[in-house]
Chains A and B, each alone.
Chain A
Amino acid sequence: MQYVKFNLDEFRYVLSITDVIEIIPYVKLTSLPNLPDYLAGLFNYRGSSVPVIDLCSLFLKRPCNKKLSTRIIVVEVIGKNSVKKMVGLMVEKATEIIKVEEDSFMDAGVYGDDLPYIGPVIADSAGLISRIHPSEIFLQIDNEILFPAA
């Protein structure tokens, strides 16, 4: 299976390419007043309005830097009431796709809601990398903003 790798500071995450619709550079977003910090704004993605979540703001409390390696990963997530929705995840250092065998993921050994998200991990020469699933990011944020109440 192939994974897109990105960084949140020193810690690295991978996201399965089967969850990815497209990876694009950080384009200019339309901001709205009173949005939570982690919602970087909205943009026109191929004719539909897509909100972008800045994972650096969400997990590190600082916005993503403005370098070429900062990219928006467009994914589809399933929210409340099984509503499907496209969102952009803004991440840093999204410059690599790696191949990982499914059975090489292992338990991370730390748990807790206060931690930035950590899932099953794999090891490489530089340390550990955590797998992340787009829908799991939404456990951390207020669903009411992105998914209308039924």
Chain B
Amino acid sequence: MKKRTTKNNKNDNCWSTIGVWGNAQEKCDRLGEVIHCRNCDVFLMAGRGVFESRPPVGYLTQWQKEISIKKEERKKGDIGVMVFRLGKEWLALPVEYLQEIVEEKKVHKIPHNEGVYILGIVNIGGEVNTCYSLMNLLEIDENTDKNDSQLRRLIVMVVNGDRFVLPVCEISGLARYSSSDLLPAPATLGEKMGTYLVGMFQVENHQVAALNVEQIYRGFEGIAV
């Protein structure tokens, strides 16, 4: 194996001195070969070192509980969705439109825009994106007893090449359903929301409304134009 011959030959955290995260004049010789530190075994082995420590308090007890529970076979479905909460409603959007989920960040209001559907613009990874209110589009009431700001996230969706940023109250995770399991939306739902739904399905103990992305896209498009 080729030895690193640079002056700054320190085995500990070389990635932040002579590696890609460092600003030393002289870069590590191995970079030519591995391109990025994350491909280098020095960096890899340093990461593995984390496992050579004692487990954090509560870690083993939590695992003990987890592995004593019988595994239940999960129902398989053909449509993968991301389940999230808006107000009291649990909703789902197909994963193929999902690009990213980021922590809630400041949405900058657009001057002279009093619209209820466009909340403003937001910086996602250095790109300016328009932030839309799915809550207002679906006419969902935000008031619930569980409104934890820690759980709030921004979903970045790409539909027909356009990026949408949608703030949500909470992300539950990924789920699957098959189209035959879908139940019709209850009549008690608002008329507005009904037009954006594909149907309802059950995840664990809550009813989730599967949303029709194309309809939502058209909904927002109609407003934006």
Contacts and interface: CB of A to CB of B under 8 A. Distances in A.
Nearest to A74: B67
A27 to B, nearest CB: 4
B52 A68 contact: yes
A93 to B, nearest CB: 8
Interface stretch (A42-50, A56-64, A105-113, A134-142): A42-50
A68 B64 contact: no
B43 to A, nearest CB: 14
Interface in A21-55: 22, 24-28, 43-47
B206 interface: no
B51 A68 contact: yes
Contact of A27 (B48, B53, B63): B63
B70 interface: yes
B53 A67 contact: yes
Contacts of A95: 48, 51
Nearest to A25: B63
Question: Is the interface on chain B under 10, 10 to 19, 20 to 34, or 35 or more residues?
Answer: 10 to 19
B128 interface: no
B48 A28 contact: no
Interface string B40-82: 0000000010111111000111011001111100000000000
A18 interface: no
B1 interface: yes
B59 A25 contact: yes
B55 A25 contact: yes
Nearest to A48: B70
Given A25-B59, A28-B60, A47 B68 contact: yes
Contact of A26 (B48, B50, B60): B60
A69 B52 contact: yes
Interface in A59-100: 66-69, 93, 95-96
Contacts of B59: 25
**Which of A22, A24, A27 counts the most chain B CB atoms within 10 A?**
A27
A45 B60 contact: no
A43 B68 CA distance: 8
A58 to B, nearest CB: 22
B54 A27 contact: no
Contacts of B61: 28
A68 B56 CA distance: 9
B54 A68 contact: yes
Contacts of A104: none
B51 A67 contact: yes
A126 to B, nearest CB: 10
A95 B63 CA distance: 17
A96 B47 CA distance: 12
B67 A46 contact: yes
A5 to B, nearest CB: 11
A68 B67 contact: no
B137 to A, nearest CB: 44
Interface of B: 1, 48, 50-55, 59-61, 63-64, 67-71
6 contacts: A22-B67, A27-B64, A28-B60, A44-B67, A45-B67, A66-B55
Given A45-B67, A46-B71, A67-B51, 10 more contacts: A24-B63, A25-B59, A25-B60, A46-B68, A47-B70, A68-B51, A68-B54, A69-B48, A96-B48, A125-B1
